[in-house]
């Protein structure tokens, strides 16, 4: 089973992805984590993307599509992928569909975690205070939210038209969101 956890930054995608990994043995494919690992390792890719992440903008589609493509065999072997923070643009979504189709696979469900902007801003200031992730600082977060609204939200009609979009209340507690994800997946699996 291949899932997309969809939503703005700080919607709770990473938290829910990690739980699904633990409970279902699936593989979390977070392009944000992969890019941060590249930056931490000082690789050529890391040096290339550091400024983009620091500004809260999106890296190019080619870069993230290649990162995802590399990890698909591992996800397949584990029984499925949880895409977290990918796709973020319509071209990324189309590329993902094409790559999966070539491998005889597909996206089974797109779980949208709906959280309103004031709650996102509150969550992110807390996370910034606790973890100090540079792109969680309030000014950069405004850019990240703008990127979500302009480039990522247009994916909603794309997946709605495919009949794959499931809308969930991401404002609820972590456990309640987890239960609503499990209920949604019981229909898919």
DSSP per-residue string spanning 64-131: HHHHHHHHHHHHHHHT-EEEES---SHHHHHHHHHHHHHTT----EEEEEE--HHHHHHHHHHHHHHH
Q: Which is nearer to ligand AMP, 56 or 170 (CB)?
A: 56
Q: Which is nearer to ligand AMP, 11 or 179 (CB)?
A: 11
Residue 52 touches ligand AMP, criterion: CB under 6 A: yes
- Minimum distance, C-beta of residue 26 to ligand AMP, in the bound complex (Å): 18
Length of the chain: 189
Report how far apart, in Å, the C-alpha atoms of 26 and of each of 6, 78, 165 are: 17, 6, 20
Cα-atom radius of gyration of the chain, to the nearest Å? 16
Site for ligand AMP in 67-106 (CB under 6 A): 85-88, 92
Distance CA 112, CA 156 (A): 9
The residue from 26, 53, 81, 181 that contacts ligand AMP (CB under 6 A) is 53
- Residue span binding ligand AMP (CB under 6 A) among the ranges 19-27, 57-65, 74-82, 102-110: 57-65
Site for ligand AMP in 134-153 (CB under 6 A): 135, 144
Q: Which is nearer to ligand AMP, 52 or 184 (CB)?
A: 52
Q: List residues binding ligand AMP (CB under 6 A).
A: 9, 31-32, 35, 52-53, 56-59, 64, 85-88, 92, 135, 144
């Amino acid at each position: 089973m291949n899932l997309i956890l969809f939503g703005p930054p700080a919607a709770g995608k990473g938290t829910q992805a990690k739980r699904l990994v633990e409970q279902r043995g699936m593989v979390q494919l977070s392009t944000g984590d992969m890019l941060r690992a590249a930056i931490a390792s000082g690789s050529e890719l890391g040096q290339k993307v550091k400024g983009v992440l620091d500004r809260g903008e999106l890296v190019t589609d080619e870069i993230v599509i290649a990162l995802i493509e590399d990890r698909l065999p591992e996800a397949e072997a584990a029984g499925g992928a949880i895409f977290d923070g990918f796709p973020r643009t319509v071209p990324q979504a189309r590329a993902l569909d094409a790559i999966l189709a070539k491998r005889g696979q597909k996206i089974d469900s797109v779980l949208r975690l709906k959280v309103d902007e004031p709650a996102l801003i509150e969550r992110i200031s807390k996370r910034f205070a606790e973890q100090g992730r540079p792109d969680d600082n309030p000014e950069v977060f405004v850019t990240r939210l703008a990127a979500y609204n302009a480039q990522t939200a247009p994916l909603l009609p794309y997946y709605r038209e495919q009949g794959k979009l499931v809308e969930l209340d991401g404002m609820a507690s972590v456990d309640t969101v987890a239960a609503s994800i499990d209920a949604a997946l019981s229909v898919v699996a």
